Amino acid sequence: MSLAERVVSALTEIVGADNVRTDLRSREPYGVDALGQGRPPDLVVIPGSTGEVAAIARLCDERRVPLVVRGGGTGYSGGAVPTRGGVVVSMERFTRIIEIDERNLLAVVEPNVITAELQRAVERVGLFYPPDPASFEKSALGGNVAECAGGPRAFKYGTTRRYVLGLEAVLPTGEIIETGSKAVKNVVGYDLTQLLVGSEGTLAIITRITFRLVPKPPARATLLAVCADVQTAVAAVTALIERRVVPAAVELIDAESLQAVRDQFGHELAPATAGAVLIVESDGMQKAVDEEIEQVAQACRAVGATPVTLATSEAERERLWNARRLISPALRATGLLKINHDVVVPRGRIPELFGVIDELRVAYRLKIAAFGHAGDGNIHVNLMIDGGSSDERARAKAAERVLFERVVALEGSISGEHGIGFAKAQYLGIELSVEEIALMKRVKAAFDPNGILNPGKIFP
């Protein structure tokens, strides 16, 4: 009998029999996220209140049962997937938008509100929640906070971190804490709120989130610039920054990614001869948007992008963004194994990053599709390999290490938004010093003395 099976009756008493899953078929979906690796938990429990979460944590802590929290299950680093069996706590019943406070520009939500649902709800009253991971129709806000999700709009608006004012969370030992407040300024004690943002479900279980909102921009304009090659697209990004233009989003898509979207979904974003495209969106007051998008168009044309076209209707704009969102599904649909890395470098070093990608293609004989948030230097580098070929897997593994080493040498980071999970734990030492890792482990031990919460994640 597994450890988790030994707590099944006590867990059933806490959440009721309807909210405990023991059979394999029901558990299987909880053993995988977008990374596509893992195995089912021994048990799944689905609490309905913070009190129940606290009771589950206390029980698992006492009995030393590993506990993994799950939101929307769209993570790319295996964060929500158990590595050592145990209990998955699925937050799927925490789906209420508790409050939209129009006077104070705030929203208070439960953690499994889907990202797009909050966006739509606040936009109905003229407000705006900017973080927009491409998974926004499926990812949950608790998962967004735990991973500090970004998205195209992070260029102008920043990542999830910037919008989190306060949290209610349950410690692995069962205590309930409230961090931060509804005020936009707060310097009392250590900033536990921001410590929990990006902690990948390893420090506490988030049960309520207070988000800061901003007014909804009244106007926006979206532009597509077709480029002969990636270098031209990168030069356009540099030219934008030189003009001191900060649009809401600057997304770059390379030829491999365009080809996948064309082949798999018949979506012709650009002619087959295009080497890359940029999608740029400006938002704000109408006059400012008109001026800004004109600057963007001029910068793109100045480096040789052609054609440079403006979306003239909402349908056209949606077509562009839909193509961008289809890249990941299209790459997966090729049948190749997609090993996705979300490396990030300082903006000015994007040309060097693409130089590294070219070198890896040649040196390791790999197909690599690269796309992403060029505005903030965060590029998704996808090694596309034949999963059945051990030789190709070995080459990809070697290339991945070199990619991470080179990115750190470029003063960047091995993960801009997907987190470490178990997928990248072995590479932590490439970026962090021994002292930093030791300090982080002491922080982890302060929150989770018995190491029950999401073991096997982040640390090698």
Ligand X SMILES: Cc1cc2nc3c(=O)[nH]c(=O)nc-3n(C[C@H](O)[C@H](O)[C@H](O)COP(=O)(O)OP(=O)(O)OC[C@H]3O[C@@H](n4cnc5c(N)ncnc54)[C@H](O)[C@@H]3O)c2cc1C
Please compute, for residue 54, the number of CA atoms within 13 A of its CA located in the half-sphere on the CB side.
Answer: 10
Residues 347 and 378: beta-carbon distance below 8 Å: no
Residues 317 and 289: beta-carbon distance below 8 Å: no
Q: Which of 30, 76, 163, 364 binds ligand X (CB under 6 A)?
A: 76
Q: Which of 113, 93, 13 is nearest to 56 (CA)?
A: 13
Q: Which CB, 292 or 342, lies closer to ligand X?
A: 342
Q: Which of 38, 47, 75, 86 binds ligand X (CB under 6 A)?
A: 75
Residues 50 and 207: beta-carbon distance below 8 Å: yes
Nearest distance from C-beta of residue 213 to ligand X, angstroms: 18
Cis preceding-peptide flag for 130 (omega within 30 of 0): no
Contacts with 96 (C-beta within 8 Å, 6 or more apart), sequence order: 109, 110, 113
Q: Which of 38, 40, 66, 71 binds ligand X (CB under 6 A)?
A: 71
Nearest distance from C-beta of residue 433 to ligand X, angstroms: 24
Assess 166 for contact with ligand X (CB under 6 A): no
Other CB atoms within a 10 A radius of the CB of residue 208 amount to 19
Q: Which of 40, 66, 73, 377 binds ligand X (CB under 6 A)?
A: 73
Q: Rounded distance, CA 135 to CA 23, Å?
A: 29
Residue with tokens 């052609």: 306
Assess 45 for contact with ligand X (CB under 6 A): no
Assess 108 for contact with ligand X (CB under 6 A): no
Q: Which of 35, 197, 206, 237 binds ligand X (CB under 6 A)?
A: 206
- Residue 390 has which token pair? 């051990």
Nearest distance from C-beta of residue 14 to ligand X, angstroms: 17
Q: What is the CA radius of gyration of the chain?
A: 22
- Residue 200 has which token pair? 């990948």
Assess 375 for contact with ligand X (CB under 6 A): no
Q: Which CB, 303 or 419, lies closer to ligand X?
A: 419
Q: Rounded distance, CA 222 to CA 219, Å?
A: 10
Q: Which CB, 21 or 418, lies closer to ligand X?
A: 418
Q: Which of 19, 83, 144, 382 binds ligand X (CB under 6 A)?
A: 144
Nearest distance from C-beta of residue 256 to ligand X, angstroms: 17
Q: Rounded distance, CA 10 to CA 55, Å?
A: 10
Assess 413 for contact with ligand X (CB under 6 A): no
Assess 417 for contact with ligand X (CB under 6 A): yes
Which positions lie near ligand X, rule CB under 6 A?
Answer: 33-34, 68-76, 79-80, 91, 111, 133-135, 139-140, 142-144, 146-147, 149-151, 200-201, 205-206, 328, 417-418, 454
